[in-house]
Amino acid sequence: MNNLDNFDSLTRDILGMPVFSDHEHHLPDEHFRQPVTLTSLLAQSYVGWLGYTPGNTPESRADYLDHVRHNTYYVWFERGLLAAHGLDGPITADNWDAVSDTVTRAHAANPNLHLDLLRRAGYERLILDTYWNPGDDDGHPDLFAPTFRMDKFMYGHHADGADKDGFNPWTSYGFTGKTLDEYLEFMRAYIRQRHDAGRVVAFKNAEAYRRPITYAEDNRAAALEAFGKARAELSQAQWMLFGNYIFHRCCELAAELDLPFQLHSGLAQIGGSDPSHLIPIVEKYPRTRFVLFHAGYPWIHTIAGLAHNYTNVCPSMTWVPTISSTAAVRALNEFLDVAQSARTITWGSDCWVSEESVGAVMAWRWVVARTLAYRIDMGLLRIREAGTLAEGLMFANNRHVYPKAVVTA
């Protein structure tokens, strides 16, 4: 068989496999009780991150589509939306309103459509990061398993500290102590209690959106100095050192509770998100398993190098197939080449709305089929081993990396 035949037969096999996603932000049910439109879905997808917005006229929509159509966020969003609603593409300025009406009517007719779409697309399990209400499962524990956003605790130097979601551990979790050590004990007790109740399957940190991921300096004296001071009284450097101190204690806690620690790397504040900043962390905590998200895009080779050198690094493809489908094929090929274990490569769709998650898993299936067909063609993979490798990438690796997220009957 040639590469295309292998691609087609792999695509068919992969379509029949369940999917496990290690990272999502799916919005609560109430959100889908409001009218859902094409424009609202675009705004809640990564396409909404692009610097273009559709207007309300055919001309503005045509202009918009002209700008965004070939960006892979849009490519897979469109495919996912069309597949989810049984529509033929492409979306054009002419059929925009008709497509939008179909979407609105479908959601209005079925208040659980956002959940049904995930199941129909093959999702068996999704690890959920509800950063607006950390640790929530949107009331659907059968589908969603919560990760814990430990970065919220990095804002607790003072009762008035708050992250961009207005979240502060003092007010949100009821901390009333006076000292840094009391704060640390409060944090540990809070997380251990949630973990013991089955409400924490991993830790997550996404501070790359707010600051450089330079967490290496673990300075207790600086944390003691910062504790009890309002944000305005702290320099950026002092504020970051307080955050670092909390981060390090959570690396220890992740090892104690045997929880994978999901770290955002790449993109976000791109001046400070180079994953090589994480090398001192990965080395200092060999008993903590770090899932390095987003293949560190654009630093995919750095993530590959980390996966080559450290057994406690999982090179994660989460979000990557939609960021750049071609880079995702390159990254997956390289991770398979160098990772100490093929079972450490994880994936998640990283979406807020289900239509985009439908498209994202289509993208991931495409990346897996393309990559494996290429490796067969290159003589790097036996055809009879391709099915097991694909199963690993689609669901089995995530079951292996996140055993506490697996539902046991």
Q: Pull the structure tokens for residue 296.
A: 């560190």
Is the CB of 92 or the CB of 133 nearer to Zn ion? 133
Is the CB of 78 or the CB of 350 nearer to Zn ion? 350
What is the smallest separation between the CB atom of 46 and Zn ion, expressed in angstroms? 10
State the burial class of residue 175 (Cβ atoms within 10 Å of its Cβ: 0-12, 13-18, 19+).
middle
Rounded distance, CA 151 to CA 207, Å?
A: 7
Is the CB of 208 or the CB of 251 nearer to Zn ion? 208
Q: In what order do the strands lie in the sheet with 313-315?
A: 148-149, 203-205, 261-263, 290-292, 313-315
What is the smallest separation between the CB atom of 156 and Zn ion, expressed in angstroms? 22
Q: Which stretch binds Zn ion (CB under 5 A): 51-59, 108-116, 232-240, 350-358?
A: 350-358
Q: Site for Zn ion (CB under 5 A): how many residues?
A: 1
Q: In the complex, which residue's CB is closest to Zn ion?
A: 350
Other C-beta atoms closer than 10 Å to the C-beta of 267 total 18
Is 350 an interacting residue with respect to Zn ion (CB under 5 A)?
yes
Q: Tokens 């903590």 identify what position?
A: 288
What is the smallest separation between the CB atom of 320 and Zn ion, expressed in angstroms? 12
Helix, strand, or coil here: 263? strand
CA 286 to chain centre: 23
Which of 51, 87, 81, 90 has the alpha carbon at shortest distance from 68? Answer: 51
Is 356 an interacting residue with respect to Zn ion (CB under 5 A)?
no
What is the smallest separation between the CB atom of 350 and Zn ion, expressed in angstroms? 4
What is the smallest separation between the CB atom of 129 and Zn ion, expressed in angstroms? 6
Q: Which stretch binds Zn ion (CB under 5 A): 110-118, 244-252, 348-356, 395-403?
A: 348-356
Rounded alpha-carbon distances, angstroms, from residue 338 to 281, 301, 315: 21, 10, 10
Inter-residue contact 245 to 225 (CB < 8 Å): no
Is the CB of 130 or the CB of 288 nearer to Zn ion? 130
Is 151 an interacting residue with respect to Zn ion (CB under 5 A)?
no
Q: Which amino acid is at 80?
A: G
Is the CB of 91 or the CB of 361 nearer to Zn ion? 361
Is the CB of 304 or the CB of 320 nearer to Zn ion? 320
Site for Zn ion in 185-244 (CB under 5 A): none
What is the smallest separation between the CB atom of 126 and Zn ion, expressed in angstroms? 12
Which residues is 115 bridged to in the sheet?
none
Binding residues vs Zn ion (CB under 5 A): 350
